[in-house]
Amino acid sequence: MSNVSILIAAIILCVTVECQCSEEPEIKPLNTVNPITKSSRLLFVPAPSYSHLNVLKIIATDLCQSSEYHHQCTFAVFDEQLDSFRSATNIFKVITFGKIPLPPKVDGSKIKTTLQFHSHITLPFFSNLYKPMHHALMNHLKTNTYDLLIINMFAFAAQDIAYDLKIPYVILAYTTVEGNLILPSWIPRGYDFMTPTDLTMSIIRRFYNKFIVPIQMLYYLWPHMQRLDRIRIECNRSTHGSFSTPIIQRWNGHPVLLPYSRAFDFKRPLSMNYHYVGFVTGESQADASKSEDDKSVQFWLNKNSEDKEEKEVIMYVGLGESYKKSLK
């Protein structure tokens, strides 16, 4: 099994939760689950992004098909992601949230910084997913129980439901944003292009990083946190009520999996619940159907490799998350 699957299996082994829910769908109390002797029921809630979804599919496949565990894995996705499961219906169960709400219209020419991108695109988009995700999950949980939820960092509704109903959950995150508002002046926050060397060499940049960037973070991100709290109230969920790092408040005390190398993250202290699990990629599918784009790229690669006169080097650049499955 991969390191990710072993870690999740260990988490399941330690789960002992008694659900105390008032005015909510009846959730049966969960007993200690031993993955070696009993198949556990796992619900995966990805973000509607293929790069995020693929990582969870690889982890779930490992957990379902392992000769040791054979867990029962269910995915909760939007309609637009159903095609990804056409060839995996014998492995996973799939429930749907319905169609993805239309994203907000944004003038891209006005977006100059990462914080502006999060403010105008990322958080409005994921906030719009809250209600359809919440309502579908609550209806599903009326007749289904799970031993553990594995939730994407942007699936806010799933995190809140698991938190309020006391269902054990794990977060799959793609960044270590813990304590970003209170970092020392010499540690980059990742919202600009300043490096540790830049900050070390300039007291002005350290001042900017220490005092100005946190103000910018609050200016751009806090209104969306307030909006999320209003949506939570409408859905009868508890609110965050915190001014410090509100996005990850629900992560406290729960395992956070980081599917990339520790070398890609700036060295700084993190809570004990953060776990670097390394790269994860799926096995190549030789029999998978190829699109016209795939065929044209394959033809171009083969043509160049057969041309003895050309001495060009072909470099592959992958955009988004890139994972390599850990050795067993």
Over residues 65-102, the pLDDT tens digits come to 776 777 899 999 999 989 888 877 778 899 999 999 98
* pLDDT, position 1: 59
Please say if the pLDDT value at position 41 is more than 50. yes
Confidence of residue 242 (pLDDT cuts 50, 70, 90): low
Location of structure tokens 């009326």: 142
Task: Find the mean pLDDT for residues 199-207.
Answer: 89
Task: Find the mean pLDDT for residues 118-127.
Answer: 91
Q: Summarize pLDDT for 148-158 with one digit per residue, the tens.
A: 999 999 999 99
Q: Summarize pLDDT for 266-316 with one digit per residue, the tens.
A: 777 778 888 887 776 665 554 456 666 677 777 777 765 555 555 666 666
Please say if the pLDDT value at position 238 is more than 80. yes
Choose between 182 and 219: higher pLDDT.
219
* pLDDT, position 315: 67
Confidence of residue 30 (pLDDT cuts 50, 70, 90): very low
Distance CA 186, CA 198 (A): 9
Quick count: other Cβ atoms within 10 Å of Cβ 169?
23
Distance CA 122, CA 18 (A): 35
Q: Mark residue 187 as left, alpha or beta (left: phi above 0; alpha: psi -120 to 50; beta: remaining).
A: beta
Q: Mark residue 179 as left, alpha or beta (left: phi above 0; alpha: psi -120 to 50; beta: remaining).
A: left
Q: Summarize pLDDT for 139-181 with one digit per residue, the tens.
A: 999 999 999 999 999 999 999 999 999 999 999 988 777 777 7
Distance CA 171, CA 145 (A): 19
Q: Where are the alpha helices (DSSP H) in the chain?
A: 3-13, 50-65, 114-117, 123-128, 130-141, 156-164, 196-201, 203-207, 213-234, 292-306
* pLDDT, position 16: 35
φ, ψ for residue 100, nearest 5 deg:
-70, 130
CA distances to 10, 69, 94, 213 from 79, in Å:
32, 29, 10, 38
Query: What's the start-to-end Cα distance of the chain, in Å?
Result: 5
Please say if the pLDDT value at position 29 is more than 60. no
Handedness of CA 289, 292, 296, 299 (dihedral sign): positive
Buried b (16+ CB within 10 A) or exposed e, 79-117: eebeebbeeeeeebebebbeebeeeeeeeeeeeeeebeb
Task: Find the mean pLDDT for residues 40-59.
Answer: 89
Token couple for 240: 């965050």
Question: Exposed (0-12), middle (13-18) or buried (19+): which is 17, by Cβ within 10 Å?
Answer: middle
Least confident of 7-21, 37-51, 141-155, 250-264: 7-21
Q: Decide: 165 and 21 in contact? Cβ < 8 Å.
A: yes
Distance CA 7, CA 19 (A): 24
